[in-house]
Amino acid sequence: MPGRASLPVLLGLALLCLTACLRTGSQSDAGDPGNRRLDQLSRDRVFASLPEGAVATGPLAKIPARYRTPAFQPAGWDGPAVSLTFTSPQPPVSVFSFFQANAAAAGWNPANRNALGYPQTWTKTYPDGVRGDLSLIQTVRAHDGESATYVLNASSPPAVSS
Amino acid sequence: MVAVRRRQMTRRLSIMIIVGMLSLALGAGVARPAPARAAGTITFDGSPGTGAPPPTLGSYNMKPFGSDPQPLGTDVPGVTLPSGHGTVGFTPALEHLQVGNGWNTWSNGYTGDVYYTGGGSSMTFTLPAGTSAFYFYAEPNPYATFEITATAQDGTTSGPIPVNGFASAQYFGFYTDGSVALKSIEVDSQTSFAVGEFGIASSVSYVALGDSYSSGEGAPPFFSGTDGPTDFCHRSLNAYSQVLGQAYNVTPKFYACSGAVTANITSQYRFGEPPQITEPGVDTTASLVTMSIGGNDAGFADVLTSCIEQKLKADAVNAAIGPVAVWLGLGLDPSCANSQSFVDAANARIDNVFGPAESTYQALRGATSPTDTSIIVADYPHLFPDSASEQSCLALSLILTTADEQYFNQAADRLDGVLQSAASQAGANFVDIRSAFSGHAICGNGGAWLNGISFASGSGQPCTLTVLGHCIWSGAPIVGSFHPNASGQSEGYAAAIQAYISAAADQTPEGFPLNPGQRTAPSRHSSTVPPIAVGALDVQPVTQGTADCAGTFQAGQTLTVAGGGFAPGTAVSLYVTSPGLGATGEQQVGSATADPSGNVSATIRIPLAATGFTPSGASAGLAFIDAIGTGTGGTHVDDVAPAGLAPHTSSCGTVEPYPFTGFFPPVANPPAVNSENAGRTIPVKFSLAGSGAVLSQVLAPGYPQSAPVSCASPGQLTSGDPTTATSPGDGSPGDDYNYLWKTDKSWTGCRELIVKLVDGTYHRAVFDFG
């Protein structure tokens, strides 16, 4: 019964081709060639020191740029990022005050401010013209005398954004 | 028409009686209070009097209301805002009239809609969340002068203002300093009256974050600049945030982006757009933050694509080889849900969304105001209908089996349960939109609010199909499939979120839902040992807490679990899911056979690597305990979600760090510095009560490590050079451990020993080798 079988075969192949197309977007290899932007973020002086008493909970996390092709959505690049998680027993005002000075010394310009009146996001332009974004977010508030947890994150756009 | 006759008759009687009083009142002049700041943060302004409404009130640009399409002569509960969404409510309902059509006079030339109290002498306006300024006019029913008083919810009042009922409707305006919202205004008079000629303003700062379900991927058109050539965030004019913005008189700060994962909110660029948390307005000035996020972290769409491909491939092959070959078992299975490994992997990926989602919500709470910002998280709908007939519609039967459709609905439930738990843990509001979408899935009888395979959204990328580096198809219009259409955005998401906001009992100053109290990690050691009961699964002992996810487990702890609802005599597998358990995040920890009543009971041990907390212990990871088997109805139940799928047997609690009490002699703990000879073997002893393991099971891979440090200021390192031991150190399982550290003869000065355990904690000691 080749005639009966041919319709589903053709339909299946046509739809198979259609869905295959979802997975074949243009994937440039130029999101962050040589991880240059990632390395630049990693070397930023803002990560060089922590407030007194603060303890990093792990090494500096380096997240390379990557090209993602989520199904049924546009494909494109995620930029490189670097983040450091640390705990501090000091009051939040001391931590944010420290980074207000530390980020300024590292060339970051304040943007959004938190309830304490201190910057919690910054931007800068690196010497090679690449933009950087920095954020300091308290993710876990201190309680019962324990330390609060903070994440300091720096990111840059991918060299090719789509 | 009744209303018209009543109103006109009243006027004819009144005018003969009070004409003298009217002249007297006018001659004496009507004393109006000057605009003055009232106590508190709400201000009354009646200065326009009977004149036309000024374009501003306080510092706010006012939006006058348009024509009301509601039938004249009927009692109406409120009036729609100028945006077309949201309402100003009337209590009680007022009779809808128009100047010249049921109501004879007004002031300043206004001829539009008015609302009459009938026989009543008071009414109350209920204003939408985020209202910063509101004005109205009021005029008594009789052609006479009566006092009218308007009072805002905080007691700020106009005081009694004499208003003449003959063409002298009076302006009443209230505005805030932006720190609070106007919520209600009560209007009292000495007689019946009408209100009308409204204007409203808002100072709400609304931030719309999230992924493609929030950007409006399936509901084009898109805002300029978000549909290529480099940025494909696909932010839609029909997105639910736009509808909510209209309801609350505000233009959203719209940063949601198609394809976004949690990292694109907290840390990474997407399409050249910075992490959403760094965007302007994501700070303490935000009144409302909405989002959907987590679906892409779970790879939901990618898994769906795999199943579609499997179905299409199987159908093509099976049709080609014919039914006999298929009957002989030579065909392909069109359903991916029949593969236990496939389902297990997909479910594990969903469960692993908990950590990133909870961290994202925590970060947003940290970035915004703890008291003035409302963070609302929405989940995801069932993509597929519930009934067999709907599931078998042509559009779906070509691409998926009904078994797969049912699996994906269960997977949505599982993901939504994970997101709800994460929101609860982080202290974010959670809106479950599944019921709003009921009947509106793809092929749903109520009309689909979700796209099937859709050609709606444009190409979505510069080149859809590339062969050998050459773009051969630049505009395959396929993105937007399996996403909400405009109705899903408006009637599904926006309506559900708006209903949640309206129903909130605890509100921010601007009238949005307060974030739920943030849950803190439970403290260790409690004599209370109640069972955790979630669904049919009891777990004990727990050290604290009886609510779902509030209990405390410990890595290595032995627990008894008991559940029910299984088919008698069938096998039930017991799993622990936790961020520390390798790539899949889960581990089978036991099995049992359901008894004649369908109950199971078993002893399990929390795996030693089941962790996920930070060393401070302030943000603990969750461990899910699942019993998985066959349901009493014979349906294969391969999966259990924390939110409760029947037969649901699940529980979760916090895994705490090991109770490390310091190194034992001869090693002295910091700040002491141990003087040692280089090249010597140093016994590093410690104990972890209750761990019951061997040394290699409690040490993090690659540890201990050591690194040179300053003797005076050694710091707290987390990494160094790997160390070597003179023997493996693994004896019998127990709570005491001894690592025989072989030091190097060449070492001089101070060196820090770094011992990292599988629970993520670091422990250090400092040695001076001279």
| Residue at token pair 């679990």 | B561
Neighbouring residues of B662: CB distance < 8 A, sequence distance ≥ 6: B669, B686, B763
Residue type, B185: I
Higher pLDDT, B163 or B591: B163
Query: Closest approach of chain B CAs to the CA of A85, in angstroms?
Result: 9
Higher pLDDT, B69 or B508: B69
Query: Closest approach of chain A CAs to the CA of B405, in angstroms?
Result: 17
The pLDDT of residue B630 is 67
Residue B127 host element (H or E): none
A17 touches chain B (CB under 8 A): no
Q: Within 13 A of B165's CA, how many CA atoms are on the CB side?
A: 27
B557 touches chain A (CB under 8 A): no
Residues B764/B752, Cβ–Cβ less than 8 Å:
yes
Model pLDDT for residues B116-149, shown as the tens digit of each residue: 999 899 999 999 888 889 999 999 998 888 999 9
Model pLDDT for residues A97-141, shown as the tens digit of each residue: 999 999 999 999 999 988 778 899 999 999 999 999 999 988 877
Lay out the sheet containing B600-605: strands in order across: B532-534, B537-540, B558-563, B600-605
**Tally of CB atoms within 10 A around A153:** 26
Closest-CA residue of A relative to B478 is A72
DSSP state string for A82-139: EEEEEEE-S-HHHHHHHHHHHHHHTTPEE--B-TTSSB-EEEEE-TTS-EEEEEEEEE
SS3 content of chain B, % helix, strand, coil (to 5): 20, 30, 50
pLDDT at residue B626 is higher than 60: yes
Query: Closest approach of chain B CAs to the CA of A145, in angstroms?
Result: 10
- Cβ distance of B316 and A85 shorter than 8 Å: no
pLDDT at residue B529 is higher than 90: no
Nearest alpha-carbon partner for B403 in B342, B336, B462, B448 = B336
The pLDDT of residue B730 is 63
A111 touches chain B (CB under 8 A): yes
Residue B742 host element (H or E): strand B736-742
Query: Closest approach of chain B CAs to the CA of A54, in angstroms?
Result: 9
Closest-CA residue of A relative to B479 is A72
The pLDDT of residue A162 is 45
- Cβ distance of A78 and B478 shorter than 8 Å: no
Q: Show the tokens assigned to B52.
A: 């036309």
Residues B239/B208, Cβ–Cβ less than 8 Å:
yes
Mutate to test the interface with B, among A72, A85, A112, A118 (most CBs of B within 10 A): A72
| Start-end of H helices in B269-401 | 300-327, 340-351, 354-367, 388-391, 394-397
Minimum-distance CB partner of B478 among A22, A56, A156: A22
Task: pLDDT band for B719, please (50, 70, 90 cuts).
Answer: confident
The pLDDT of residue B424 is 87
Q: Measured between alpha carbons, how far is B270 from B258 in angstroms, rounded to an integer?
A: 9
Neighbouring residues of B748: CB distance < 8 A, sequence distance ≥ 6: B678, B769, B770
Write the burial class of residue B672 (CB in 10 Å: 0-12 exposed, 13-18 middle, 19+ buried).
Answer: exposed
Task: pLDDT band for B616, please (50, 70, 90 cuts).
Answer: very low
Q: Measured between alpha carbons, how far is B519 from B534 in angstroms, rounded to an integer?
A: 18
Minimum-distance CB partner of A135 among B278, B280, B464: B278
pLDDT at residue B628 is higher than 80: no
The pLDDT of residue B609 is 63
Preceding peptide of B666 cis, ω within 30°:
yes
B316 touches chain A (CB under 8 A): yes
Longest pairwise C-alpha distance within chain B: 116
pLDDT at residue B733 is higher than 70: yes
Minimum-distance CB partner of B479 among A73, A140, A141: A73
Task: pLDDT band for B24, please (50, 70, 90 cuts).
Answer: very low
Reported ipTM: the value is 0.86
The pLDDT of residue B578 is 59
pLDDT at residue B690 is higher than 80: no
What is the DSSP pairing of strand A81-88 with strand A76-78? unpaired
Task: pLDDT band for B203, please (50, 70, 90 cuts).
Answer: confident
What is the DSSP pairing of strand B193-202 with strand B63-64? antiparallel
Residue type, B503: A
